[in-house]
Amino acid sequence: MINKRLLVKNLLAHNDENSFYDKKRFISIGEKEGKAKFLKHVCALANSNPKNNSFIVIGVEDADNEIVGVDFFDDSKIQNLVNAYLENPPIISYENIPFPHLPEGKVVGLVTIRSNGKVCALRKNIWKYYGGSVFFREGSISLPKAYGVELKDINSEKVATIEQHARNNIELTLDAVINFINTRHPDLTSDYKVFKEQFVVCWAGNKKKVKSKTYYSRVDIELINEQVKLFYSALDEITIEYNEDSFSTVEYVQLGLGTQQKYYPLEEMMITFSENGKYTINSKLIFEPPQFDKKTLYHVYNTNNSLLKKLESNIPLTASEHVDVTHLPATYLICYLNGFEEAKEQMDRSRDILKEYDRNVYQSLKESQRILRKVKYS
């Protein structure tokens, strides 16, 4: 069983990026350029490593390898993105790896890429890259290759050694459980469950009961053995269920207009543990977007646009307008889910404006864009 935090450290010990791993300060797959560059690197790493895993480490300064972290990235549909744009797509996973020195909510992103043994290529045009383009790693750079395309195994022994050095042990597991419960979440209700005498899942959150159901908010869930953060949210609520073989969550998001707010089930995630030391994670989008009167939404959409213009022009807002701004990300999302396609562009445009205006509103915007990504790639 690989401890992913140790794996990241071992990869960074190689200092310079190479043909089996890349490092990034951040990625922006919500934008066309960022998405294109990400797909280029995935394609190049898959083609340069046909027999072994390759990796992208995210949240690291390029110059000195300082681990600065990025926001928790919940995109269980990243495989769908890769499948849509790449021919012979590799198997890909994005995991959030906690590091003790990082602030709450910050993690290191670890993208693991596994080639299917065939030449990977762009399926269609994106940004300045043409459909049919094939990329390989040349040292630390991902470059197109037009001729002499051949998959060669040059890294499998090196990567196997790195992964072997990142194997977990009982001391690391126990230390991580104690740290999770006593140090990182002393103010929250914490618990853990051992599966198949091998896997330890820890979770923490504010616990509340509504009728016969238990809900958690401010939730943090980790698969301790592998040092992988499975879920983190300061805003949403979830339910947790488990038995001897599996651990599952249902995430709920709060949406509505004005004071008419309601929780809607968004996504169900289930981890199933096997006796052979392996596990699978399956997620299923169960979201049914709330529908509202179009006339009301036109009014809301136009109000949001006016508020955005005022903030952009530094025009003072009234007290009621300040309240409206707090709902702006969620109401833009509702508009998009009800057929207002331009609302997505307005959300993208509002990022820098809301980041400067208020940290909580900006956090709400990131949450709304996360939901939008899930819906889009499903």
- Cα–Cα nearest to 194, from 185, 202, 204, 186: 202
* Contacts of residue 210, Cβ cutoff 8 Å, sequence gap at least 6: none
Strand partners, 144: 135
Give the whole-angstrom CA distance, residue 201 versus residue 230.
Answer: 9
Distance of CA 206 to the CA centre of its chain: 22
User: β-strands 53-58, 21-24: how paired?
Assistant: parallel
For 367, other C-beta atoms within 10 Å of its C-beta total: 20
202 in Cβ contact with 181 (< 8 Å): yes
Percent of the chain with pLDDT over 70: 98
pTM reported for the whole predicted model? 0.84
3-state secondary structure of 26: coil
Give the whole-angstrom CA distance, residue 104 versus residue 188.
Answer: 14
Give the burial class of 268: count Cβ atoms within 10 A of its Cβ; 0-12 exposed, 13-18 middle, 19 or more buried: middle
Residue-wise pLDDT tens digits, 166-202: 998 889 899 999 999 999 999 999 999 999 988 999 9
Residue-wise pLDDT tens digits, 70-113: 999 987 679 999 999 999 999 999 999 999 899 988 999 999 99
pLDDT value of residue 314: 93
Give the whole-angstrom CA distance, residue 56 versus residue 73.
Answer: 14
43 in Cβ contact with 344 (< 8 Å): no
Q: Token pair for residue 83?
A: 């499948």
3-state secondary structure of 151: coil
